[in-house]
Amino acid sequence: MTYLQQHSPDELVPAREQPVEIRRVEEVSPEFARYLYTAVGGHWHWIGKLGWNWDQWVDWLSRPGFETYVPWAGGIPAGYVAMRGVGSEIEIENFGLLRGFIGRGLGGHLLTVGLRNAWTLHERHESVDPITRVWVNTNTLDGPAALANYQARGLKPYKTVEEERPDGDGPSPGPWPGWSGPPGVVREVPAG
């Protein structure tokens, strides 16, 4: 697992803007949050929240200093970035795109918008102090471009930890129960 951080908004290296609208999620919606978690993370072995009930999702989404941003492309959500501020630090807790949007430049743009909003989170949440650090972690089960995207946006590695991931030995759970699509096959979605 690789941990990366920034200590100033001046360290952000913006990606090229993309023709998508990125909106902050204003409602506490466990259904929408779980959809994003499974649709984005199902291919990358995100399993930690799969067994959560509705109340657990509400609790997670209702924490002080928590925000989610979603890019909308072609009328559908294309991915998300979820972050939480505690004290003067922001953790990017979840970040990713739906498979059909990977490779189109949206990830860099979404991370740029997410980091900009992370550096100003204290302006929207009384529970968060002025920000001194934004951090994220990634591992070998995440998308192959995740680490490069984080570094391209100016996040610097500060710690690497060897991690055993027994959940990574088999096929990923996919975006829904019973998913059996072939790994690595991405349906081409026309740019628009």
Q: Hey, is 99 helix, strand or coil? A: helix
Report pLDDT digits (tens) over 19-35: 999 999 999 999 999 99
Percent of the chain whose predicted confidence (pLDDT) is above 90: 73
Phi, psi for 138 (deg, rounded to 5): -145, 160
**pLDDT(64) > 90:** yes
Residue 95 β-bridge partners: 81
Structure tokens, 173:
């759970």
For residue 146, give Cα distances in angstroms to 44, 153, 183, 190: 11, 11, 18, 23
Q: What is the pLDDT of residue 190?
A: 38
Report pLDDT digits (tens) over 88-143: 999 999 999 998 999 999 999 999 999 999 999 999 999 999 999 999 999 877 87
DSSP string, 55-86: HHHHHHHTSTTEEEEEEEETTEE-EEEEEEEE
Q: pLDDT confidence of 189, banded at 50, 70, 90? A: very low
Q: Decide if 44 contacts 141 (C-beta within 8 A).
A: yes
The candidate with the shortest Cα–Cα distance to 92, out of 65, 73, 56, is: 65
In sequence order, the 6+-apart residues with CB closer than 8 A to the CB of 52 are 34, 60
Average pLDDT score over residue span 153-170: 80
- Averaged pLDDT of the chain: 88
Average pLDDT score over residue span 6-14: 98
**Which value, in Å, is the radius of gyration of the alpha carbons in the chain?**
16
pTM of the model: 0.87
Q: What is the pLDDT of residue 2?
A: 94
Domains of the chain listed by start with CATH number: 2-163 (3.40.630.30)
Q: Decide if 157 contacts 151 (C-beta within 8 A).
A: yes
Report pLDDT digits (tens) over 164-174: 655 555 666 66
